[in-house]
Structure 1
Amino acid sequence: MKQTKSLFRHFLKGHFLFIFLPPIVLIFLSAFIESPINGEELNALNLFYFVLLLFGFIIVAFVVISWIFFLRLRKRLTRLQEVMSFSANHNSFPRPISVQSDRMDEIDQLGSSFNWMIQQLENSRKREYEEELLRHRLIANLSHDLRTPLTILRVHVTRLNKESMSLEGQNSLSEMNHTITRVGDLMDDLLSYTLLTSGKHPFRPTSTDIGRLVRASVAAWYPVFEEKEIQIDVDLPTEETLYWEADPKWMTRVLDNLFQNILRHAAEGKYVNIVVDVEKEQIIVADRGPGMDNSSYERGAGIGLSTSNYMLKKMKLKADFTSNDNGTRVAIGRA
């Protein structure tokens, strides 16, 4: 940016002339011009007082002018600082400041640079928002378009199951059917995560009875675990309970994701432990599967866990995972 004027150079030049110009003029007049100051009407004592008064006036005027200058400078800097700190105090985007283009001293140049930075940030945020919308739209369209070929594949697999074939062929068809189901679930998880992060799923927190919510969720999943011959060990409070400021639908979705991951990746352990610890204010879900280091768990649980973690963070909760070869333990509590 080209500098047109210097505020401090102008200040120094003005004060230099104000301090040295009056004495120089006085000396010049005393040396070359006949005046009453050198005559009989004004003796040496009066001349001393006159010079003292002149320099006293210069000092007082210098202090007053300097005070006015720095007062105006402080006022401009304070206004600039208030605008710059507006976003931090109000948790919003900063606003541009007014700049006098005809003056353009150092402070105006600073304000102009600040306005340019705001413009760049606004453009960047706009591009990011447009890219986010495009990504969400692309994921939603892909999730919708891929359902048709998956449905066709499932129809053909079902038709082939009715044909006579070897045991190896039946196992292959069963694996194909399982893979189709898994891909469909992954697309559902991806679509849900996309809709969730884009604000399509409303967040309605309320004081929620966690004990009752977990009990209802376990009751809904009990037949599924029983069908898979998974032993269910439940420890839920009957008299005492705990309350969280949470969205009941979101909490149910988090528990559904945990139970679904047990069926997908830890069903071989044939065990699930579900506890609501009122004293520690935690929900604990544990299994005896192969653990999260198992490749099947890592490959399949990422999107669902990301969705659950996003919901928990929004509700000011967190999930602590402890996993080894003997199983996985998830403890949900306050963040």
Structure 2
Amino acid sequence: MKQNKSLFRRFLKAHFLFIFLPPTMLIFISAFFGVSDIHEKNVNTLNLFYVTVLLFGFMMVAFVILSWLFFLRLQKRLASLQEVMSFSAKNNSFPKPISVQADRMDELDQLGSSFNWMIQELEGSRKRAYEEELLRHRLIANLSHDLRTPLTILRGHVTRLNQESLSLEGQNSLTEINHTITRVGDLMDDLLTYTLLTSGKHPFRPVSTDIGRLVRASVAAWYPVFEGKEIQLDVDLPADETFYWEIDPSWMTRVLDNLFQNVIRHAAEGKYVKIAVDVEKERIIIADKGPGMDNSSYGRGAGIGLSTSNYMLKKMKLKADYTSNENGTRVAIGRA
């Protein structure tokens, strides 16, 4: 950008003139009076001293006034620029472009012009990121929907093959195929749910919720599933004591469903799960005796579900602390 004028250069020129011009004039006046008045008119030298003091006093006052006016104007322009720049932090949005005088274009105008260019670039980047995010969400939603048709067809063929006379190995293979189809369907559900959550299409309605009652209802719904898998259920839910969280009950139920489902999928071989509500510390505890997250399929298959649960918990101002080793996994949900 071509710089037409310099604010500080003009300031230095003006001050240079006020510093050097009056003494120069005083020298010429002194020389003139020295030739014309002192020798010819015998003018009192004390008057010349008073003129000199008056001239230097005027020079100092003018210098101070000029400096004060310059820095006052500079401070106003900088304060205006700082107010516009801090607009984003105060209002959590992009600031508006500032006005720039193209005919002046000093250092501050160039700074404002660069600031306006930065705003345009940031707005363009945000718009492109938003469009890419919408495209990604739309693609995931469409894939989740379109893949259900071939999965349904595969399940139909598995059902038909089950009616045929097959060897034991064939039956085991069909069982594994059916289990894999179910697993893929669950993964697509988790992926679609996570996409809806992050795109803001899954409403969040927090209310004061009785946590003991909510966990008790979730355990009752999952009890037949644990019983069918022959998993010993150790429940510690105080009947007379409870606590309340400002959460979305449907979101919290989904989090518990995901954790219980992970126990079924990845820790069923431990044949044990403990579900407890710690009223004193206001925590929900879920523990199993599986092989641990590092030694099971947690890392390969629980990523989307855990991401969904963690996102929901963060929105509800909660957090889940995971403790896992070869003796099992323990999840404690509490306030963030």
Matched, 1:203 2:204: yes
| Residue 7 of structure 1: aligned partner | 7
Q: CA deviation at 1:42?
A: 4.4
The answer as to whether partners of 2:247 and 2:316 remain within 8 angstroms in 1 is yes
The correspondence of residues 137-156 of structure 1 with structure 2, limited to 5 A, is 137-156=138-157
**Which deviations, in whole Å up to 9, do the C-alpha atoms of 1:74-101 show, x marking residues without a partner?**
1111111222222223332233222111
User: Mean alpha-carbon deviation: is it higher for 235-244 or for 255-264?
Assistant: 235-244
- d(CA) in 2 for partners of 1:190, 1:38: 105
Consecutive unaligned residues of structure 1, counting only runs of 5 or more, are none
For the residue of structure 2 that corresponds to 1:13, the secondary structure is: helix
> What is aligned with 2:262?
261
Aligned residue in 1 for 2:17: 17
How far apart in 2 are the matches of 1:235 and 1:188? Answer: 31
Q: Is the 8 A contact 1:285 1:330 kept in 2?
A: yes
Gaps of 5+ in 2: none
TM-score (norm 2): 0.95
**How far does residue 18 in structure 1 lie from its aligned partner after superposition?**
2.1
Q: Which amino acid aligns with 1:17?
A: L
Correspondence for 2:184: 183
Quick one: distance in 1 between partners of 2:157 and 2:36?
Answer: 121
Residues 37 and 47 of structure 1 are in contact (CA less than 8 Å); yes or no, is this contact kept in structure 2?
Answer: no
Shift in Å, 1:295 = 4.2
Question: Given residue 334 of structure 1, which amino acid in structure 2 is its aligned partner?
Answer: R
**Counterpart of 2:335?**
334
Question: Cα deviations across residues 96-144 of structure 1 (Å, max 9, x unaligned)?
Answer: 2221111111111111111111111111111110110000000011111
Q: Matched residues in 1 for 2:290 and 2:61: separation?
A: 87
> What is the RMSD computed on CA atoms of the aligned residues?
1.7
Contact 1:275 1:285 in 2 (8 A): yes
What is aligned with 2:77?
Answer: 76
Residue of structure 1 equivalent to 2:241: 240
Alignment of 1:117-156 (within 5 A): 117-156=118-157
Structure 1 residues 39, 56: CA separation in 2 closer, same or farther (over 3 Å shift)? farther
CA 1:220–1:37 in structure 2 vs 1: closer, same or farther (change >3 Å)? Answer: farther
Does the Cα contact within 8 Å between 2:22 and 2:56 map onto a contact in 1?
no
* Counterpart amino acid of residue 3 in structure 1: Q
Structure 1 equivalent of residue 232 of structure 2: 231
User: Does the 8 A contact of 1:30 with 1:38 survive in 2?
Assistant: no
Alpha-carbon shift at residue 289 of structure 1 (Å)? 1.1
**Kindly tell me: are residues 170 and 60 of structure 1, through their superposed partners in 2, closer, same or farther at Cα, counting changes over 3 Å?**
same
Deviates most, 84-93 or 50-59: 84-93
Measure how far apart 1:207 and its partner are: 1.2
Task: Quote the Cα distance in structure 2 between the aligned partners of 1:328 and 1:162.
Answer: 40
SS across alignment from 1:163: coil
Distance in 2 (alpha carbons) for counterparts of 1:40 and 1:238: 117
2:279 corresponds to: 278
3-state SS of the aligned residue for 1:285?
strand
* 1:73 shift after superposition: 0.7
Alignment-mate amino acid for residue 122 of structure 2? L
Partners of 1:74 and 1:262 in 2: CA distance = 64
Larger mean Cα displacement after TM superposition, 179-188 or 32-41: 32-41
2:293–2:325: 8 Å Cα contact kept in structure 1? yes
Q: CA deviation at 1:264?
A: 0.9
Paired residue type of 1:114:
F
For 1:28, give the aligned amino acid.
F
Q: What displacement does 1:29 show?
A: 4.5
Q: Secondary structure at the match of 2:276?
A: strand
- Aligned 1:306-321 pairs, distance under 5 A: 306-321=307-322
- In structure 2, the residue matched to 1:56 is 57
Query: Aligned letter for 1:97?
Result: I
- The one-letter code sitting in structure 2 at the alignment partner of 1:7 is L
Contact 2:231/2:271 (<8 A) preserved: yes
In 1, distance between residues paired with 2:40 and 2:223? 119
Q: How far apart are the structure 2 equivalents of 1:320 and 1:206?
A: 23
SS across alignment from 2:297: helix
Among the aligned pairs, what percent are the same residue?
83
Number of positions where the alignment pairs a residue of Structure 1 with one of Structure 2: 335
| Bigger shift: residues 154-163 or 261-270 | 261-270
Distance 1:35 1:71, change over 3 A: farther
Give SS of 2:246's match: strand
- Kindly indicate whether the alpha-carbon contact (under 8 Å) linking 1:7 and 1:105 is maintained by their aligned counterparts in 2: yes
Say if 2:291 and 2:325, in contact at 8 Å, map to a contact too.
yes
1:173 Cα offset (Å): 0.6
Change over 3 Å in CA distance of 1:37–1:179 after alignment to 2: farther
For 2:300 and 2:222, the matched residues in 1 are separated by 24
